[in-house]
Amino acid sequence: MTQTFPARVVSVGKNAAHVVLDREEHTRVADLKRATGKREMLAPGDRVQVRLLEDGRALVERVEPRSFTLQRRTVEGRAKTMATNVDTLITVTALADPPPRFLTLDQLLAFAELQDIGAMVVLTKPDLAEAEVTAAISELYRSLGYETLIVNPKSGENVEGLREAIERRHALLCGVSGVGKSSIFRALGGDAVVGDVSRHGLGRQTTTASRLFRMPEGFLIDSPGVAEFGLGAVAPEELVEGFREMRPLVAKCRFTDCRHLQEPDCAVRAAVAAGEIAESRYDSYRRILSP
């Protein structure tokens, strides 16, 4: 009987994936086609059983049952699996250089809300931002109930706090280019750099690589494709469920089908005008709804 080994999927291409065996720290390219010719459909985070080949590659023999599947809808309405077996999105936003992109942050948080998984806000580059700006942004998201950490991986500020916060989570690290995801990943101890797996299954080194850092009771995947987590076409009644501070106000609007854009007697817009909802959050809501 052929021996197989448990592994975790890090990134996936058309015919191959990168996996990390439980007993190893480095990644291996794994063929997705078994001897039967059947191609396994995988996603980052999947647990698999692989057979090792003589050239150092692996062959996926079996995919273990998934505890959770993170999906988004395409423009055509089809479901696309983004990751599996994760329970938390770790959103990374730079306070400066590049400036904070609230639309991206709020869209990721709304995505997590609609997927019913946890979310954490990590703010980076505090040394480049005004203290007042840092305080205002962090207080906004803490007031919404999101665990919010200010982290400077270069100086080590709050790296251990982040490690403690995620040590038992199965998390996906999300953020646009230049916000410090790679620095965070390295500061935590992750160094298993892999290349993208192309549509033909060939790995190549790239700065947009997916990587996995394994902890005793959890793992962290560094995902390159933050744009892939866009909500796509979403109805107002669904999108508002992704904004915690807006949900309780919907029943107070005059119209049951209120989009919270220009309708009269809208409780959400009234809360924005009264300073009870941050203008940046409402602006994100509007831009997601009408891209």
Query: What interhelical angle do 181-188 and 159-166 show, nearest 10?
Result: 80
Q: What is the pTM of this model?
A: 0.83
pLDDT single digits (tens) 117-166? 999 999 999 999 999 999 999 999 999 999 999 999 989 999 999 999 99
- Torsion on CA atoms 63, 59, 44, 6, rounded to nearest 10: 60
| Max CA separation in the chain (angstroms) | 70
What value does the mean pLDDT take over residues 48-64? 92
Q: Cβ of 132: how many Cβ atoms within 10 Å?
A: 8
H-run or E-run covering 185 = helix 181-188
CB 234 within 8 A of CB 288: yes
Residue 30 burial (CB count, 10 A): 28
My answer on whether omega of the bond before 216 falls inside 30° of 0, hence cis, is no
pLDDT more than 70, % of the chain: 84
pLDDT the model gives residue 192: 45
Q: Which residues lie below 8 Å from residue 128, measured CB to CB, with a gap of 6+?
A: 95, 96, 97
3-state secondary structure of 94: strand
What confidence score (pLDDT) does residue 193 get? 46
Inter-residue contact 58 to 34 (CB < 8 Å): no
The 3-state DSSP class for residue 259 equals coil
Bigger pLDDT: 1 or 258?
258
Higher local confidence (pLDDT), 282 or 73: 282
pLDDT of residue 196: 46
Question: Which domains does the chain carry?
Answer: 5-63 (2.40.50.140), 69-229 (3.40.50.300), 236-289 (1.10.40.50)
Categorize the per-residue pLDDT at 203 as very low, low, confident or very high, splitting at 50, 70 and 90.
very low
pLDDT of residue 69: 84
- The neighbour count for residue 260, using CB atoms within 10 Å, is 25
Q: Which of 4, 2, 50 is nearest to 27 (CA)?
A: 50
- Determine the Cα–Cα distance for residues 226 and 205; give it in Å rounded to an integer: 19
**Token couple for 160:** 């251990």
Q: Are 185 and 155 in contact (CB under 8 A)?
A: no
Arithmetic mean of pLDDT, 201-206: 36
